[in-house]
């Protein structure tokens, strides 16, 4: 009998967390959509939709990741393998996009958001820290945030994202080339102590404008524009 009640309680806790995640997702979508309207009350159509899409997909992934961690998948175990790479999973339960794991649909970003005019690829890893989110900045992999990145975003889209979260007029420029760091790998061995990139002033390789920002756009060392959104604060 106690076991039965315990399981009911566990299911209740999971449902409560799912409900919270859904509410937060809906609130974020509404806030982004509402904030991308022009001051004169008119919508600017495609830009509004594109900016909303940028936040909605990572929010969906975040909701799936939350469910997985509730079901005893440790954050550092999360695997973001694309469907073509499911065979490389050490266990399917840790696969965010695998039907036996998180079951989240694997998607490309809208071509309308991308400078290339082609669908963009999302990347997910724990090689970065956002200052003032989660734990204090440290050289410990366990303190790195799990972040979704979308490189190659149109400058105009990035400007709109940042403008409506109070980062303007300039898009912050990261002083180190991060192009080799966009990969969907959760590998502690690949992140040496002190090697993680801090998107904030503390690491000296970021911008204090990004401190405490769970999502925003930045420029990669004078090159492409990148959108990021934190999935797990650690």
d(CA 195, CA 67): 30
- Residue 75 is predicted with a pLDDT of 84
Residue where the block lists tokens 């790998």: 185
- pLDDT tens across 96-124, in order? 999 999 999 999 999 999 999 999 999 99
* Tokens coding 35: 């904030």
If pLDDT is split at 50, 70 and 90, which confidence band does 8 have? very low
d(CA 98, CA 94): 8
Higher pLDDT, 15 or 60: 60
- Residue 54 is predicted with a pLDDT of 86
Q: Cis (ω within 30 of 0) for the bond into 169?
A: yes
Whole-number CA gyration radius for the chain: 18
Among 122, 102, 106, 117, residue whose Cα is nearest residue 184: 122
- Residue 178 is predicted with a pLDDT of 79
- Residue 4 is predicted with a pLDDT of 42
Which range, 5-14, 93-102, 157-166, 213-222, has the best average confidence (pLDDT)?
93-102
- Across the range 16-44, mean pLDDT stands at 49
If pLDDT is split at 50, 70 and 90, which confidence band does 41 have? very low
- Across the range 22-48, mean pLDDT stands at 50
Entry pTM: 0.76
The greatest distance separating any two alpha carbons of the chain, rounded to the nearest whole angstrom, comes to 63
Alpha helices in 36-131 (DSSP H): 46-70
Cβ contacts of 222 within 8 Å, gap of 6 or more: 173
């Amino acid at each position: 009998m106690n076991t039965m009640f315990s399981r009911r309680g566990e299911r209740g806790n999971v449902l409560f967390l799912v409900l919270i995640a859904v509410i937060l997702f809906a609130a974020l979508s509404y806030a982004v959509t509402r904030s991308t309207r022009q001051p004169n009350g008119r919508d600017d159509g495609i830009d509004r939709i594109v900016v909303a899409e940028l936040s909605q997909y990572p929010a969906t992934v975040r909701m799936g990741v939350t469910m997985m961690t509730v079901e005893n998948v440790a954050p550092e175990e999360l695997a973001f393998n694309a469907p073509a790479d499911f065979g490389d999973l050490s266990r399917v339960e840790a696969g965010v996009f695998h039907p036996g794991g998180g079951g989240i649909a694997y998607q490309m970003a809208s071509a309308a958001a991308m400078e290339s005019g082609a669908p963009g690829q999302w990347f997910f890893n724990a090689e970065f820290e956002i200052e003032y989110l989660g734990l204090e900045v440290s050289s410990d992999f366990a303190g790195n945030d799990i972040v979704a990145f979308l490189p190659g975003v149109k400058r105009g889209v990035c400007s709109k994202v940042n403008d409506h979260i109070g980062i303007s007029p300039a898009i912050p420029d990261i002083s180190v080339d991060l192009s080799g760091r966009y990969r969907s790998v959760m590998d502690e061995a690949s992140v040496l102590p002190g090697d993680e990139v801090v998107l904030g002033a503390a690491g000296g390789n970021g911008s204090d404008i990004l401190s405490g920002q769970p999502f925003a756009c930045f420029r990669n060392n004078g090159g492409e524009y990148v959108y990021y959104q934190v999935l797990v604060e650690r």
